[in-house]
Amino acid sequence: MATFYIEQFGCRATQADGAALERQLLQRGYTAGAKDTADIVVINTCTVTAAADAQARDAIRKIGAKNRSARMIVTGCYAQRAPEELASLPGVAWVVGNSHKPELPQIIENLSSASEPARFVPATSLRWTSLTGSQTQAQILTGEFERKPLLSAPVFGGEANHTRPTLKIQDGCNSRCSYCVIPFVRGKSRSLPPEMVVAEINHLTASGIREIVLSGINIGTYGRDLDPRVTFKNLLRRILDETAIQRLRVSSIEPMDVTQDLVEFFAQERLAQHFHMPLQSGTDRILAAMHRWYRAEQYARRVQVIRECLPQAAIGADVIAGFPGESDDEHRTTLAFIESLPLTYLHIFSFSKRPGTAAAKFNEEVPAHIIKNRARELRDLGERKSAAFRREQVGAKFRVLTLRSNHGDDSRAGELPDAGQPATRSAEYTPALSSNYLRFRVPGAWPANQWLDVRAVSTEGNYLVGELEISLKLDEPVCANTVC
């Protein structure tokens, strides 16, 4: 059988698509290979910014230069938005949009078993790109999303390095924020049926996983497309009732989906006390221009509800710097608004004009150097907020989950150290994560995926230093997931 390699770009949703494809190919008997030698190379792209587009094109050129015999398939959000751009690049055999990602295994099977391009796709579904010179004709497969199945498989890796998998339970978006290209490249909101979510989580917990991160493009709309309709809270309740997962974390949720009822539900021990709510701007005029469905006061109220119900919860926000027409005064208003809120961290994005979006046609573009300065000021504010939150936690007790270290020998990961002692490795500390998204360094080299009770004794850079209180057995259930 042919070998394959998947080059990943972009958000967790894109990574989940890649994980699902990898699972399907392995099930069909293909073997994962190296980028420079694989027979089939899939480039799974992002298009959220112009920089993401440039990174994808650069990767295609470099892979084509190093692995000239590979059949390259470009897919993902960039492939859906601008397939002709990608089809014109040397070495590209197929460009497959998100709308037709479920057909990728069959395309790959045809590519690896025949010299002729695949012919199973209806001619009406194809758009052909005429290329010159020695470059063979790349085939393009994009179209409407219709009722395409939702691709989903756990994503291992990233910040937790295989300890905390991410499971995509929703894709697409029915909103039309003026700056965002996602609805055009991922289609309308689609949900993974709850029984499939439960089955996937049960499979992960049976393999020893203790924390899972639920993700989606607009996760608060989960289940509204299903029949019968299911709410996000109902899904969470079913997961807690029907699985043994010890900690469940939500990646991001829109402010208007954060209700008092939902926040109160998060007070139970197995749900991570962590809310990430995109803000984008602290001024009502800019929020209206962005086509956001809330205003600053409504956002502030939801932050306060979280803080009142869950005093130690992590509350993060996305903010866009330099949206068209944003004045210096409005930027300062956003800074002051964020300063007034008990946010614990920020993700800052510089505005990037995306073709096809309403904001791409707006006048009064903010100069690049001003956007850069505003983004720097927002990041500085976010760092100060994060540092203040860490300092507030010194002296408190936490139950943390150890993560896989990036250094030293971790061959004993998942095993209990002898007599409750750290594993014998050369590392001086073990990274760990609390329910409220605080990163810890615990002295010693503990195996990954283990619960530890620690006391925060000091701060060290972006970490808290945790002093060990109790070491838990790996099969011991979590009885207290919140700050003591």
pLDDT of residue 469: 86
Side-chain-side CA neighbours of residue 350 (13 Å)? 17
Across the chain, what does the average pLDDT equal? Answer: 86
pLDDT of residue 14: 83
pLDDT of residue 327: 98
Side-chain-side CA neighbours of residue 51 (13 Å)? 5
- Cα of 333 vs its chain's centroid, Å: 29
pLDDT of residue 131: 39
Q: Which residue has the tokens 């983004």?
A: 375
| Beta-bridge mates of residue 6 | 42
Lowest mean pLDDT among 17-26, 156-165, 175-184, 360-369: 156-165
pLDDT at 128 > cutoff 60: no
Contact call for residues 466 and 452 (beta carbons, < 8 A)? yes
What the block records as the tokens of 292 is 């956001």
Report d(CA 353, CA 50) in Å as an integer. 8
Lowest mean pLDDT among 265-279, 357-371, 394-408, 433-447: 394-408
- Out of 69-73, 83-87, 245-249, give the one with best mean pLDDT: 245-249
Q: Side chain identity at 346, as an amino acid letter? A: L
Lowest mean pLDDT among 87-101, 329-343, 386-400: 87-101
Contact call for residues 75 and 44 (beta carbons, < 8 A)? yes
φ, ψ of residue 331 in degrees (nearest 5): -65, -45
Express each pLDDT in 410-425 by its tens digit.
Answer: 333 333 333 344 443 4
The DSSP secondary structure of 53-96, one letter per residue, reads HHHHHHHHHHHHHH-TT-EEEEEEHHHHH-HHHHHTSTTEEEEE
Lowest mean pLDDT among 48-57, 306-315, 333-342, 382-391: 48-57
